[in-house]
């Protein structure tokens, strides 16, 4: 099977995992509506210049459909008060309650029946409409200039371009967490968060694809592709993250506490990506190298926009050590290599459809798949296609001779 056919198959397998643009647009409308609400002079936060922004998988364009039809989407948002609130003027509790009061007014005004729910770091609203999702809003303030400077230096030391290091470091914020001992008192130690900085880093990785950049420039009718929301980029990197997250969900269906965190999969995939133009080629590179990008010592999977933070800290945490998370990550990665290798080499469409369902929960139709990829149900070509080299995975992960500590 040639490379073009393999790429088409992987693209078709990835299709049912993604959510339609209409779902992204509805979520986008939600956060914009909140932005308008918080921009009103009547809100309690008005004097503090609130900024509402999207974060998480919706921001990155890597959302996947819930495995179960009754599953909910998680829309992560931030509310940053940009002036007038500092660690010296407010406690974390005061900041959270200030934002929470305006969220409550919004809930009542928009007729959201279910009460807002307080989580450790955020406020949650649950929407009861055709698109089942809940909204988690995290209050934050800008981190101090000194801390941002130190983070910028740390990012630059990983090999990041100076301009990007400055950009993402300046987006760093301090967030609330009601589990902290200093939650109710004036204190300098707040948790750091930089979801927008992470999104900018992830976008920089996506932009390694020259083919993607050319396509986006045409779509945007301008050189500035940032005008298009990330979910419309449909980049190979985004598709690979979606495929791996869904494979993980199916693999750990009976062991949800043991599954690798999405941020680990997303970070390692982005670090391993080298700008491949096709999903299958990108998936090959990512699966064969991401394991080698895990550091032997903490931080095992550093946050690229805050290198001191370890996304894999639960692997060695005494409270979660019994889950054997590092071991399970390795086993899952190996199984993902095997499964995608099998899909890439399989010629019989019936078996591809079966694997797509059992390994990824993706429902495909043999007849439709045959038409789209250009081969018959038993593997014969319906029309000529000749492109060299295919999706092939090694028996063991390839370990680069000099793996990058951070791949910007």
Residues 328 and 260 sit within 8 Å (Cβ to Cβ): yes
β-pair partners for 54: 77
CA 77/CA 71 separation, integer angstroms? 19
State the Cα–Cα distance between residues 406 and 155, nearest whole angstrom: 9
Instruction: Say how far apart CA 211 and CA 225 lie, in whole Å.
Output: 13
pLDDT at 24: 87
- The backbone region for 274, taken as left when phi is positive above 0, alpha when psi lies in -120 to 50, beta otherwise, is alpha
Write the pLDDT tens digit of every residue in 370-405.
888 877 766 555 544 444 444 343 444 333 333 344
Segment holding 94, helix H or strand E: helix 92-109
Angle separating helix axes 145-157 and 162-169, nearest 10 degrees = 150
d(CA 136, CA 166): 28
pLDDT digits (tens, 9 = 90+) for 202-259: 999 999 988 777 777 776 665 444 456 788 888 999 999 999 999 999 999 999 999 9
Q: List the chain residues with pLDDT less than 50.
A: 223-226, 383-408
State the CB neighbour count (10 A cutoff) for residue 310: 18
The two three-digit tokens of residue 95, written as one number: 């900041």
Helix (H, G, I), strand (E, B) or coil at 302: strand
**What element of type H or E holds 356?**
helix 349-360
**227, containing H or E segment:** none
* The token pair that represents 240 in the structure block: 């690979």
CA 245/CA 62 separation, integer angstroms: 9
Alpha helices for 55-91 (secondary structure H): 56-60
The pLDDT assigned to 189 comes to: 96
Task: Give the pLDDT confidence score for residue 388 in this predicted structure.
Answer: 41
């Amino acid at each position: 099977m040639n490379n073009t056919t393999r790429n088409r198959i992987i693209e078709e397998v990835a299709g049912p995992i993604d959510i339609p643009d209409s779902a992204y647009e509805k979520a986008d409308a939600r956060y914009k509506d909140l932005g308008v609400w918080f921009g009103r002079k009547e809100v309690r936060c008005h004097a503090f210049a609130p900024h509402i922004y999207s974060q998480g998988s919706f921001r990155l364009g890597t959302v996947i459909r819930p495995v179960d039809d009754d599953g909910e989407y998680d829309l992560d948002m931030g509310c940053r008060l940009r002036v007038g609130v500092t660690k010296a003027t407010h406690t974390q509790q005061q900041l959270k309650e200030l934002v929470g009061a305006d969220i409550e007014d919004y809930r009542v005004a928009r007729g959201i029946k279910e009460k807002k729910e307080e989580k450790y770091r955020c406020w949650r609203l649950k929407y009861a409409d055709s698109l089942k999702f809940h909204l988690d809003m995290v209050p934050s303030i800008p981190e101090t200039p000194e801390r941002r400077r130190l983070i910028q230096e740390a990012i630059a030391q990983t090999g990041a371009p100076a301009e990007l290091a400055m950009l993402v470091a300046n987006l760093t914020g301090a967030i609330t967490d009601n589990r902290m001992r200093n939650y109710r008192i004036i204190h300098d130690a707040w948790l750091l968060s930089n979801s927008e900085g992470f999104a900018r880093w992830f976008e920089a990785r996506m932009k390694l694809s020259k083919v993607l950049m050319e396509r986006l420039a045409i779509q945007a009718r301008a050189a500035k592709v940032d005008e298009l929301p990330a979910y419309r980029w449909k980049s190979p990197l985004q598709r690979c993250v979606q495929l791996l997250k869904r494979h993980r969900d199916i693999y750990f269906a009976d062991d949800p506490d043991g599954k690798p965190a999405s941020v680990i999969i997303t970070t390692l995939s982005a670090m391993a990506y080298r700008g491949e133009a096709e999903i299958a080629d990108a998936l090959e590179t990512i699966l064969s190298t991401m394991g080698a990008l895990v550091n032997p010592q903490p931080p095992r999977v550093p946050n690229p926009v805050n290198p001191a933070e370890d996304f894999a800290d639960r692997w060695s945490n005494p409270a979660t050590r019994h889950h054997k998370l590092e071991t399970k990550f390795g086993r899952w990665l190996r199984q993902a290599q095997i499964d995608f290798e099998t899909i890439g080499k399989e010629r019989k469409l019936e078996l591809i459809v079966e694997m797509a369902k059992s390994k990824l929960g993706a429902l495909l139709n043999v007849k439709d798949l045959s038409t789209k990829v250009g081969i018959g149900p038993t593997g014969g070509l319906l029309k000529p296609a000749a492109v060299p080299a295919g999706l092939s995975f090694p028996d063991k992960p390839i370990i680069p001779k000099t793996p990058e500590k951070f791949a910007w």
